[in-house]
């Protein structure tokens, strides 16, 4: 009895009475557990029934089916041979499936282009997803092993085209790993042989291949001989049946794989059929495709008519027979893991509890829905674009790690009226397994117990201690109160066996193999750590001379457009500062066009990350010339522990394709962000003309001074007075009072309420500057709560920036304090505008309220905390306009636009600097979001001089405002300023809501040292103004003429009136050569103030422009007749 029981457990023999007693103890323990199991568990008697129960768990295979939490069978018995064999198709079954696929191929998406816009289609026959924008299409497919293979991103293609032909560009190189292959360890095969035989002696044992089965058979015979017993594990009749079945199977496979037709005299390479082979190790459930094409499909078509060729093409053709089988490193992928053969930068990286970071994901399912899916996993804590049903469609592709059960959702949203796609990722860890509650859980517990017994008993030679992780008696007690537990356990067995080990061939590694298997199973129930998680990955085919467009700079010099050629290697744009930063903007654009022509021609694929913290955007060109772009959270400062049953959602990434260069890309981003990102209550509105006290007064603000300035400002058309820094605590300079958000009664004896009332009585709105994220050491807040700062307690080391420290916004008490203070300010006074500033970056980032293992989450939690306070302001005070700022443009990104319709572009207000800053910013961000003001001269940042007219025109292409002391301006200056304010109010609906064109840029050789900007009216405009144009000269080249200015975006068949506004009166004295700036008559660019021209003439012939000195400018208003 003990010999047969030992054989069933994988032991070769019972060596002694002591070993026999151990086995008796083992059997008694198993029976005791069965006795304590819930009554709903069917009783089992005998070893064969116990092992049959384990095998039954494997047959039922609880790991497949729904997206709910699942109980996965142990790895030893997980995917049995019988199940795989039963899942295979016969030839007739396969032909039926192929015929069904041909029928499905006849059902394709609608061919009407308008019906396709903003929709997602999945063609089942080719396993291809197509996402249709306004004029573009994005396509990828599920390949034969369940990977998502990127196919195409560009102008919309007919839905009848089968894009799988593109995969023939894949050519595997030497040293590139091939496709993943399924394998099984010998010990697993042997275990299944034993289980099958014990479970059903009457049925022949099933094997996939002859060699492995014969090897197992020889092992069984060796055991019988060693045991010296007639009653071995398998009787002779069963063994004979196995061998006979194997021989028949081998002959059938050889017959099916043999070539048909005449046999040549020349030796032919043996063709291997893949009829019964799995496509890959990670693609359970996928139907294997034929690898050998039919003979007539490989023949060459020669001397055939067009009709014959067409008939040949229209015949049913199975692409899967001929698509190259290549590894991950050769494919273009939608999502890439680490460590399974793709050596490019991965999309994600996780660490399981057992130390493994291998996580191959394969397709599990997908969902298509109308409208944009809300970010439910982020629970409203991140900025997100919006979209109603009919405006967009969403696709969720569900991916899964088959072994651990980790799930990843790739979420796509495609919009109807713009060529844009929003992408994000949700990663989910399955809930902990619930043991011992109810019949099913108890049954699983029983099976798990016996499986552990099997594992323990199969180890040999070395003394392996296996702790059985189960206590059914206690579990049953807790089940009465509906509590599930998973306890570490009671019974410890020691086994000793001969040299042969069924876990691995190397006996030295048996214990490690055992521990590894158990740990990997347990990692499903515990937490895992996310080390890297991108929001979007896109692979591109090889292109000629790829160029990368970025926006970079520094404080007071932000977002200059840069272009660099991409070569083999990696380019990274990132921020580690806790904000998106002045230095690098979260934007990337890939193009195949040179800088001279990229504005209006060529393909552009652009990425804008909707996030305000640390980011990384990387582009790598491989040795093949292909390019991968990743966009997401910066992995250098991001780690996230994901407990069992929890999920994490990334910020969104907006992706835009343009076939008309950067210009088309800009139009798409502007429309996308105006309509679907910026709070919709501000859509189409014009911000009030404001006057900010900063450059006029700095910290020297008082009630009387502000009221005096407001009275003058009202006469020139100002609509909003903003009280900047210096109003709170005892704030006389930058060294004190940040965090003390109450009025300085020395300066404002009537409080903010009194000041707001005085300003409101003039018919003006009142706004306020705050810096909620910061604190001065010299403040009441710091004295009360020094622990609220970002810093590790006990480490007496830190650095200050601008005399201030950063509050830890990952703390809810900090968020609540700031919310309380802001609510009091906005409730007690009529504050209709908030300027939210942030004047330093993060250092010593450590959260004293966060567990040590979660310190990698602090940067992200900080940003989420800031978003939460901004969300509160939007919900509680929806009529208060917010303008965010970070030392100027240090946090100018799409994430902030979700909460504030405008962002201060830069602390540098010099017009020469602002031309480049606003020019670069306009690539992605709408003009209505670009904070721009008319300021003093000489400029406070550069000491350069410029005319009031040029300062007006630069500020016109933004939110427009004043930041100068109007009390000191002369009467003529105030009159001129009043004209500009009135003109802004007239033109702003066109400028802020229309399409923006960068007509000239200094990067172009023909227009060097000059900028020319143009805005065309939105389609619903009723003002009669068709366009607004402004030209700026940054550097004079004496004796060189500017080219004719060719306009864009007009109707070539329409007639227009071209009106020059605010003409120059300067002229050159021909006698002396001196430029005289004033006193002359208007110098009309076209000879007179108004000229009538056709759209064709304005766009092809152009307008003459004559500018004379650095900072000179001119402007035109185009009226459609």
363-403 confidence digits (pLDDT tens): 999 999 999 999 999 999 999 999 999 999 999 999 999 99
202 noted as active-site residue: no
pLDDT digits (tens, 9 = 90+) for 880-901: 999 999 999 999 999 999 999 9
CA 1094 to chain centre: 46
pLDDT digits (tens, 9 = 90+) for 322-334: 888 899 999 999 9
Q: Give the three-class secondary structure for 641.
A: strand
401, 744, 808, 837: the catalytic one is 837
User: Residue 442 pLDDT more than 90?
Assistant: no
pLDDT digits (tens, 9 = 90+) for 254-276: 666 555 444 444 433 333 333 33
> Angle CA(865)–CA(867)–CA(871) in degrees, nearest 5?
120
Instruction: State the pLDDT confidence band at 247, using cuts at 50, 70 and 90.
Output: low
837 noted as active-site residue: yes
- The 10 Å Cβ neighbour count of residue 455 is 23
Dist CA 900 CA 381 (whole Å):
15
pLDDT digits (tens, 9 = 90+) for 549-590: 999 999 999 999 999 999 999 999 999 999 999 999 999 999
Nearest to 977 by CA among 691, 702, 741, 748: 691
The predicted structure's pLDDT at residue 502: 32
The larger pLDDT score, comparing residue 214 to residue 364, is at 364
The larger pLDDT score, comparing residue 945 to residue 320, is at 945
User: Residue 137 pLDDT more than 70?
Assistant: yes
User: Residue 870 pLDDT more than 50?
Assistant: yes
Nearest to 647 by CA among 411, 823, 815: 411
Instruction: State the pLDDT confidence band at 293, using cuts at 50, 70 and 90.
Output: very low
Q: Give the three-class secondary structure for 228.
A: coil
740, 907, 910, 1112: the catalytic one is 907
Dist CA 419 CA 104 (whole Å):
28
The predicted structure's pLDDT at residue 313: 60
User: Residue 1029 pLDDT more than 60?
Assistant: yes
The larger pLDDT score, comparing residue 1013 to residue 90, is at 1013
What value does the CA radius of gyration of the chain take, rounded to a whole number of Å?
Answer: 36
pLDDT digits (tens, 9 = 90+) for 1082-1097: 889 998 999 999 999 9
The predicted structure's pLDDT at residue 309: 66
Q: Give the three-class secondary structure for 694.
A: helix
The predicted structure's pLDDT at residue 243: 58
Lowest mean pLDDT among 431-445, 704-718, 885-899: 431-445
CA 576 to chain centre: 18
Lowest mean pLDDT among 519-523, 1002-1006, 1010-1014: 519-523
End-to-end CA distance of the chain: 104
Q: How many helices (H) and strands (E) does the chain have?
A: 25, 41
Q: Determine the length of the chain.
A: 1121
């Amino acid at each position: 009895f003990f010999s047969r029981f030992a054989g069933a457990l994988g032991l070769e023999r019972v060596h002694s009475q002591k070993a026999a007693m151990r086995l008796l103890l083992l059997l008694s323990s198993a029976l005791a557990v069965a006795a304590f199991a819930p009554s709903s568990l069917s009783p089992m008697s005998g070893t064969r029934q116990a092992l049959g129960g384990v095998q039954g768990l494997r047959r039922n295979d609880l790991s497949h089916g729904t997206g709910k939490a699942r109980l996965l069978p142990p790895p030893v018995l997980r995917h049995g041979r019988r199940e795989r064999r039963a899942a295979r198709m016969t030839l007739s079954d396969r032909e039926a499936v192929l015929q069904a696929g041909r029928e499905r191929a006849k059902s394709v998406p609608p061919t009407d282009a308008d019906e396709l816009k903003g929709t997602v289609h999945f063609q089942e026959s080719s396993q291809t997803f197509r996402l249709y924008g306004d004029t573009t299409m994005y396509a990828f497919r599920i390949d034969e092993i369940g990977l998502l293979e990127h196919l195409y991103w560009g102008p919309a293609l007919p839905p009848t085209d089968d894009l799988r032909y593109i995969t023939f560009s894949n050519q595997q190189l030497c040293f590139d790993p091939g496709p993943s292959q399924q394998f099984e360890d010998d010990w697993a095969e042997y275990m299944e042989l034993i289980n099958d035989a014990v479970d059903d002696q009457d049925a022949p044992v099933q094997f996939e291949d002859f060699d492995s089965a014969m090897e197992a058979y020889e092992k069984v015979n060796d055991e019988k001989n060693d045991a010296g017993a007639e009653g071995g594990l398998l009787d002779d009749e069963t063994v004979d049946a196995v061998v006979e079945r194997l021989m028949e199977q081998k002959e059938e496979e050889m017959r099916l794989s043999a070539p048909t037709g005449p046999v040549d005299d020349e030796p032919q390479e043996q063709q291997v059929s893949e009829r019964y082979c799995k496509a890959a190790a990670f693609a359970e459930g996928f139907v294997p495709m034929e690898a050998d094409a039919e003979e007539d499909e490989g023949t060459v078509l020669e001397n055939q008519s067009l009709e014959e060729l067409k008939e040949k093409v229209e015949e049913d053709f199975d692409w899967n027979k001929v698509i190259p089988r290549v590894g991950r490193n050769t494919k273009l992928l939608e999502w890439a893991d680490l460590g399974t053969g793709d050596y490019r930068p991965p999309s994600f990286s996780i660490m399981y509890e057992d130390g493994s970071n291998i996580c191959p994901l394969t397709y599990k399912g997908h969902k298509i829905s109308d409208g944009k899916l809300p970010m439910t996993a982020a629970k409203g804590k991140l900025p997100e674009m919006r979209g109603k049903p009919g405006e967009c469609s969403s696709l969720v592709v569900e991916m899964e790690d088959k072994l651990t059960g980790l799930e990843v959702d790739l979420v796509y949203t495609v919009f109807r009226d713009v060529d844009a796609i929003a992408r994000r990722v949700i990663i989910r860890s399955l809930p902990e397994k619930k043991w011992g509650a109810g019949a099913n859980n108890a049954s699983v517990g029983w099976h798990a117990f016996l499986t552990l017994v099997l594992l323990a008993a199969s180890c040999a030679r070395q003394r392996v201690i296996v702790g059985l992780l189960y206590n059914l008696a206690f579990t049953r007690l807790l089940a009465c109160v509906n509590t599930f537990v998973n306890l570490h356990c009671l019974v410890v067995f020691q086994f000793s066996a001969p040299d042969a080990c069924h876990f691995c061939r190397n006996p030295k590694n048996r214990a490690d193999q055992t521990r590894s298997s158990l740990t990997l199973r347990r990692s499903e129930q515990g937490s895992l750590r996310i080390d890297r998680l991108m929001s979007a990955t896109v692979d591109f085919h090889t292109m000629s001379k790829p160029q990368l467009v970025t926006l970079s700079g520094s404080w007071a010099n932000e977002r200059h457009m840069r272009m660099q050629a991409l070569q083999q290697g990696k380019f990274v744009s990132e921020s580690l500062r806790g904000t998106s930063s002045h230095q690098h903007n979260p934007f990337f654009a890939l193009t195949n066009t040179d800088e001279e022509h990229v504005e209006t021609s060529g393909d552009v694929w652009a990425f804008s990350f909707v996030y305000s913290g640390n980011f990384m955007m990387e582009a790598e060109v491989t040795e093949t010339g292909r390019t991968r772009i990743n966009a997401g959270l910066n992995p250098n400062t991001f780690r996230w522990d994901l407990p069992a049953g929890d999920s994490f959602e990334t910020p969104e990434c907006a992706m835009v394709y343009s076939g008309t260069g950067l210009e088309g890309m800009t139009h798409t981003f502007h429309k996308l962000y105006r309509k679907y990102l910026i709070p919709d209550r501000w859509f189409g509105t014009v911000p009030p003309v404001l006057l900010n006290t900063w450059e006029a007064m700095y910290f020297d603000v008082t009630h009387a001074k502000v009221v005096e300035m407001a009275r003058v400002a009202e006469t020139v058309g100002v609509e909003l007075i903003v009280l900047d820094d210096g109003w709170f605590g005892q704030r006389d300079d930058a060294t004190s009072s940040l965090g003390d958000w109450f009025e300085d009664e020395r300066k404002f004896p009537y409080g903010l309420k009194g000041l707001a009332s005085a300003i409101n009585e003039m018919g003006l709105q009142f706004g306020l500057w705050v810096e909620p994220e910061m604190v001065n050491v010299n403040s009441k807040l710091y004295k009360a709560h020094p622990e609220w700062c970002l810093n590790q307690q006990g480490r007496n080391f830190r650095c200050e920036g601008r005399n201030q420290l950063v509050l830890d916004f990952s703390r809810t008490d900090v968020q609540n304090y700031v919310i309380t203070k802001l609510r009091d300010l906005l409730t007690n006074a009529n504050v209709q505008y908030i300027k939210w500033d942030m004047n330093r970056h993060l250092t010593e980032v450590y959260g004293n309220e966060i567990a040590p293992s979660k310190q990698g989450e602090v940067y992200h939690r900080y940003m989420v905390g800031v978003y939460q306070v901004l969300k509160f302001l939007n919900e509680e005070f929806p009529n208060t306009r917010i303008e965010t700022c970070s030392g100027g443009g240090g946090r100018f990104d799409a994430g902030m636009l979700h909460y504030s319709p405008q962002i201060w572009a830069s602390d540098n207000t010099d017009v020469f600097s602002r031309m480049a800053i606003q020019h670069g910013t306009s690539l992605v961000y709408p003009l209505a979001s670009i904070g721009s003001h008319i300021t003093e001269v000489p400029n406070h940042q550069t000491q350069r001089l410029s005319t009031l007219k040029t300062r007006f025109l630069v500020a016109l292409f933004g939110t427009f405002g004043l930041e100068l002391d109007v009390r000191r301006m002369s009467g003529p200056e105030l009159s001129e300023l009043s004209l500009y304010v009135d003109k802004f109010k007239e033109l702003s609906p066109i400028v802020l809501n229309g399409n923006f064109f960068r007509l000239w840029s200094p990067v172009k050789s023909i227009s060097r040292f000059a900028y020319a900007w143009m805005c065309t009216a939105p389609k619903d405009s009723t003002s009669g103004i068709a366009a607004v144009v402004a030209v700026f000269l940054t550097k004079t080249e004496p004796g060189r003429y500017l080219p004719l200015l060719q306009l864009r975006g007009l109707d070539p068949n329409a007639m227009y009136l071209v009106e020059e506004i605010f003409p120059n009166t300067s002229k050159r004295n021909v006698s002396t050569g001196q430029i005289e700036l004033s006193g002359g008559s208007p110098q009309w660019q076209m000879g007179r103030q108004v000229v009538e021209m056709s759209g064709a003439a304005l766009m092809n012939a152009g307008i003459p422009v004559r500018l004379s000195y650095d900072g000179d400018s001119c402007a035109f208003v185009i009226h459609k007749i």
